Structures are given as structure tokens and as C-alpha cells.
């Protein structure tokens, strides 16, 4: 199999993975477990759509020209915008925590844990694809996707910690504790 064909198959696998993520997060957002959970999963679903679009564009370019294209500045800048959206979601949740203690169920935590496991598998996939390709531009692309998955894992880990103990999470995020 030619390297180009192998790269196209790798992108097809990546696309299927992102489609699974989109479906998972869309379903989770509709569960309406609580406002934070719904907002986080809705944003994760939007991110997965962006990943799908990015992979489709790279797939089309690779299929047409048999060579990888560098990530554009617009592609690279997406990450920063996404981080800010998540910070806003958490800030809003923390502000609400000051007013009313949030109510979480075991289903919230289970949804976050399932999503965390999914993102971990995505990160492992992009690690494997990175290691399997010899093209330096493809390596950059897979590292970029891997980094987005890592950020999602970090976000979901934060969400799990928040669900487990909103008050303690708030104290840790604010960076202060009560001294004796």
C-alpha cells in the first residue's frame, strides 16, 4: 500500500472517531443532567464538528495532491477560542455555586467518565497515527489533534472533580484555603 493510501485510511479512521465523539456528546448534552453538564457536552459536540471539518479538509487536499498541507493559522487559533469558551462555562458554574449548591447525580459523573475514556482513546489513536507516519507535516497534524484531545481530557477531569465536590473545586480553583 502506498504511503498516501495509508495516510488516507488513517484520516478515515480519525474521521470515524470524531463522528463517534460528536454523537456521544450530542446525546449527553440532551440528557440535561444539569446546566454545567449540558453546556460542556454541547461545546464538546461543537469541537468534534470542528475536528471532523478539519480532517475532511485535510483528507480532500491529500487525496487531490498526494501531499499533506500545513495547518493554517486559523486552524491553530481555534484551540485558543475553545479554551476560552470552556473557561466561561466553568466560571459561570462556579459563580452559580456561590448562590446555590449544585445538584449532581451519579449519572453526571458517569457521563463525564465515559467521555474521558473516549478522549483518552482518541489521544492514543493520534499517538499511534503520529508514530506510523513518516511525513513531518502529517506528524504535526496528528500532534495538533492529539493536543485537542488532551485538552478535552483535562476539561473532563476538571468536570469530574467539580461534580465530586463543587465546594472543594472552587477553593482549589481560587487558590486559597482556610488556615488554622
Q: Report if residue 35 sits inside a domain.
A: yes
Q: Is residue 180 part of a domain?
A: no
Quote the pLDDT of residue 180: 41
* CATH number of domain containing 160: 1.20.1260.10
Please indicate, yes or no, if residue 54 is contained in any of the structural domains: yes
For residue 179, is it within any domain? no
Domain assignment present for 82: yes
Mean pLDDT across 124-133: 96
Per the structure, the count of domains in the chain is 1
Domain membership flag for residue 58: yes
Asked if residue 138 belongs to a domain, the reply is yes
pLDDT of the residue at 149: 93
Predicted confidence (pLDDT) per residue in 85-113, tens digit: 767 776 776 666 556 555 566 788 888 99
Q: At what angle do helices 166-174 and 73-99 cross, to 10 degrees?
A: 120
Tell me if 94 is assigned to some domain: yes
Per the structure, the complete domain to which residue 108 belongs is given by 3-174
Q: What is the pLDDT of residue 170?
A: 59
68: left (phi over 0), alpha (psi -120 to 50) or beta: beta
CB 63, CB 10: distance < 8 Å: no
Amino acid at each position: 500500500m502506498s504511503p498516501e493510501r495509508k495516510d488516507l485510511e488513517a484520516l478515515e479512521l480519525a474521521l470515524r472517531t470524531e463522528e463517534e465523539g460528536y454523537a456521544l456528546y450530542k446525546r449527553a448534552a440532551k440528557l440535561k443532567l444539569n446546566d454545567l453538564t449540558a453546556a460542556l457536552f454541547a461545546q464538546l459536540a461543537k469541537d468534534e464538528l470542528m475536528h471532523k471539518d478539519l480532517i475532511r479538509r485535510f483528507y480532500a487536499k491529500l487525496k487531490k495532491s498526494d501531499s499533506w498541507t500545513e495547518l493554517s493559522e486559523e486552524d491553530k487559533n481555534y484551540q485558543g477560542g475553545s479554551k476560552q469558551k470552556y473557561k466561561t462555562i466553568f466560571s459561570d458554574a462556579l459563580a452559580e455555586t456561590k448562590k446555590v449548591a449544585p445538584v449532581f447525580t451519579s449519572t453526571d459523573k458517569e457521563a463525564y467518565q465515559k467521555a474521558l475514556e473516549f478522549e483518552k482513546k482518541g489521544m492514543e489513536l493520534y499517538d499511534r497515527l503520529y508514530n506510523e507516519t513518516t511525513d513531518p507535516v502529517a506528524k504535526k497534524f496528528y500532534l495538533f489533534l492529539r493536543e485537542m484531545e488532551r485538552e478535552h481530557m483535562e476539561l473532563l477531569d476538571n468536570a469530574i472533580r467539580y461534580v465530586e465536590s463543587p465546594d472543594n473545586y472552587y477553593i482549589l480553583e481560587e487558590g486559597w484555603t482556610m488556615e488554622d
